[in-house]
Structure 1
């Protein structure tokens, strides 16, 4: 049995210990009673990834705000380009795509070579480092969103528009662009980092789980967003609502600050988990096991 840092969940080894009362024929036909060492090690690999998996959910909770409250903000702002053309509120999500298209080549051509030299890693940033960058960018996105909402409410108050839910605040909708760009850049890092991490670290016999683990963080992020919205609404609706039907009378910026604080706490937990985590290749090498071939990876 491997001891120390390499095997911190060795209690699972009991699943591969044959009971003296079991016959060989019985155990061969019943994997529910006894598992192979390979099965046990694969389960260990998945369990080790769970802290990383859990701490990436928050990014997609931030992402959910860009398609909900940020669009609601846009509907109350001046969306004119020129005198006659007015852009649809939901079209601001185009800045997601623009940010990703810009971030990927910048990382590939500029950041990756520099990171490779500084970190002495030919691949540049590791998957966990990429995810970390994405989480940091999501925090800045919520700070930008909160400051943008404070600016929007200030202009609405200056023009006495707070009581009119259909009023157009004389503030350009492009004040919302920074938060879209930051989340888009964060997605470029987090998305690729997650896929690369799960593809690389999932056991060889469970590679189909890699995509499932990634997609589950996305869906749980939107689910967490719904829970937060419901909770905040119940706690604040009878006082000074943060999430009012009329955004000009609400305090949406407080909700953004809350998400920023939760993201900082989540980032700390992620950094602890990432520091504790040892990549599969290194962990197996420490016990004298060499991988047959490198698993598939995801590159920008």
Structure 2
């Protein structure tokens, strides 16, 4: 790494200070955004239709198939945290993305092979007695290797692609600021196009042509995107690794544990870095103050790092966000039902559009993404202005009000899903009556609307409340809610009575599982209201104190951080 890059300066690919006339700008950013389009094609092409392959071709149970999908998506989002950490601490964004595209291509190629090779699938079910042999351990091993290879690669891409894209613009330069704003629109457009292509054309190819082609095509798309990305190497602007905020968190926690036997000083001025602290000392979580105690026995050891009071207070701020964070998990538990059981429901319903065209089960998920786009647009042009007039809040709704609205939509979605499943199951008793699959649209619309509120609200909240030098960690917190929400779904499926989630939905009671999620959603919403009413907002640098239950709406540099985080994650599940 060049000295300029090591100092955090923007450099070209040779390590020299970047020449704005020859590097960066919209052309470079577009080449970067294309990798996100390819990532969406790959990931959405897997998640939105994998459950039908697991049940129909590998003969796995409904519960296990759903958990395979949710565990894959949960792991992908957790690995995105690792991708961000590696980029911040060691490789930088460009190299992390380049390596991740290669890993993703490898994973998609393995997946195409595992679904295309006859030996990687069990024999078809016997028509006479209905006996089905499930996939063997060896057959599943190749499938899992492919899925989690994709998870590693896609996680590295999604964690860094928007950050590298924004590095191509100097937002302090009036000549480049408008182009930076346009980049976010183009980036979101790439996400939308990738998701739409995956849930329509790609799902159709998987169902009608074959899984090998359906997963091989995204591998080709990623190869093309990787080639375009590498071709733009001389045009990019680069920043060297600047260190990860996770490192600070780890240092504080380890130092607090190392000094656990020491008494906390009564006078905080005795803590390391007190006089140079950038934040005010607080009395909450005094146990963490021990991290800022300098052990005289270790003071001469240069290998030992002593956290400062600023480090400790930053970690305290993060821990204060955990109660709200925990209540956001339930939304994503509801969300992932749209990619698993809702798709399975569609296979048992009338999917004809007109007299000839049969809609693939996974393609109904396109309704979800169209709703997200619609409500995201409505939020900016209709709902926010109306809420602004009603509440007097310049942003219309506070961040926590947005999250609360999203949680309410999730509860309504599960209630609607339960009613529709009860109707579908009741009609299945009479084989001459097949309920239309378009009855699934209300629950998809409700979840899509909920994401438009909940996700943006989470981003706004975590960005505003995070310590100044840990703004990037807000993306990690949001990714963690998605991941843990998917894992929670797997746990709830395993904990549910066997009679609820059956291989034959007509003999099960999936509606009761949905009602359980609705009840848990109500409980979660009540807990959220309790935590949000007691949350004390961070006092901003301009000394505009914020009391509990209100938001500071001053326009700050946090707006740029929010745009970056939205670009990274919107519709990224």
**Structure 1 residue 221 and structure 2 residue 221: aligned?**
no
Structure with greater contact order relative to length (CA < 8 Å, sep ≥ 6): 1
Scaled by the length of structure 2, what TM-score is found? 0.45
**Structure 1 residue 197 and structure 2 residue 458: aligned?**
no
Rounded Cα–Cα distance in structure 1 between residues aligned with 2:555 and 2:309: 17
Match of 2:337 in 1: 65
Contact 2:405 2:450 in 1 (8 A): yes
Deviation string, structure 1 residues 231-253 (Cα, Å, up to 9, x no partner) = 11xxx33xxx1111110111000
1:31 CA displacement = 3.5
Residue of structure 2 aligned with 1:137, choices 389, 409, 416: 409
Rounded Cα–Cα distance in structure 1 between residues aligned with 2:402 and 2:329: 15
Match of 2:284 in 1: 9
Contact 1:116 1:122 in 2 (8 A): yes
**Structure 1 residue 156 and structure 2 residue 428: aligned?**
yes
Rounded Cα–Cα distance in structure 2 between residues aligned with 1:251 and 1:243: 6
Residues 18 and 292 of structure 1: is their aligned pair in 2 closer, same or farther, counting only changes over 3 Å?
A: farther
SS of the equivalent of 1:125 reads: coil
1:100 CA displacement = 1.0
Match of 1:280 in 2: 538
Deviation string, structure 1 residues 50-109 (Cα, Å, up to 9, x no partner) = 011111011000001000000000000000011111100000100111111211122212
1:298 CA displacement = 3.0
Residue of structure 2 aligned with 1:188, choices 443, 449, 452: 452
SS of the equivalent of 2:435 reads: strand
Rounded Cα–Cα distance in structure 2 between residues aligned with 1:209 and 1:231: 32
Residue of structure 2 aligned with 1:258, choices 504, 516, 520: 516
Contact 1:77 1:173 in 2 (8 A): yes
1:202 CA displacement = 1.5
Q: Which structure 2 residues correspond to residues 27-106 of structure 1 after superposition, within 5 A?
A: 30-32=304-306, 35-106=307-378
Contact 2:372 2:448 in 1 (8 A): yes
Task: Give the stretch that moved more between structures: 134-143 or 267-276.
Answer: 267-276
Match of 1:295 in 2: 558
Rounded Cα–Cα distance in structure 2 between residues aligned with 1:285 and 1:192: 23
Residues 13 and 259 of structure 1: is their aligned pair in 2 closer, same or farther, counting only changes over 3 Å?
A: closer
Rounded Cα–Cα distance in structure 2 between residues aligned with 1:97 and 1:258: 25
Rounded Cα–Cα distance in structure 2 between residues aligned with 1:292 and 1:96: 32
CA RMSD between the two structures? 2.8
Residue of structure 2 aligned with 1:110, choices 382, 385, 390: 382
1:23 CA displacement = 7.5
Scaled by the length of structure 1, what TM-score is found? 0.84
How many pairs were matched up?
A: 278
1:25 CA displacement = 4.8
Rounded Cα–Cα distance in structure 1 between residues aligned with 2:490 and 2:325: 19
Rounded Cα–Cα distance in structure 1 between residues aligned with 2:409 and 2:508: 26
Contact 2:289 2:309 in 1 (8 A): no
Residues 12 and 206 of structure 1: is their aligned pair in 2 closer, same or farther, counting only changes over 3 Å?
A: farther
Contact 1:76 1:169 in 2 (8 A): no
Rounded Cα–Cα distance in structure 1 between residues aligned with 2:438 and 2:545: 53
1:118 CA displacement = 2.2
Match of 1:164 in 2: none
Deviation string, structure 1 residues 163-195 (Cα, Å, up to 9, x no partner) = xxxxx8511110110000000000111111112
Contact 1:196 1:298 in 2 (8 A): yes
Residues 121 and 26 of structure 1: is their aligned pair in 2 closer, same or farther, counting only changes over 3 Å?
A: farther
Query: Which consecutive residues of structure 1, in runs of 5 or more, have no partner in the other structure?
Result: 162-167
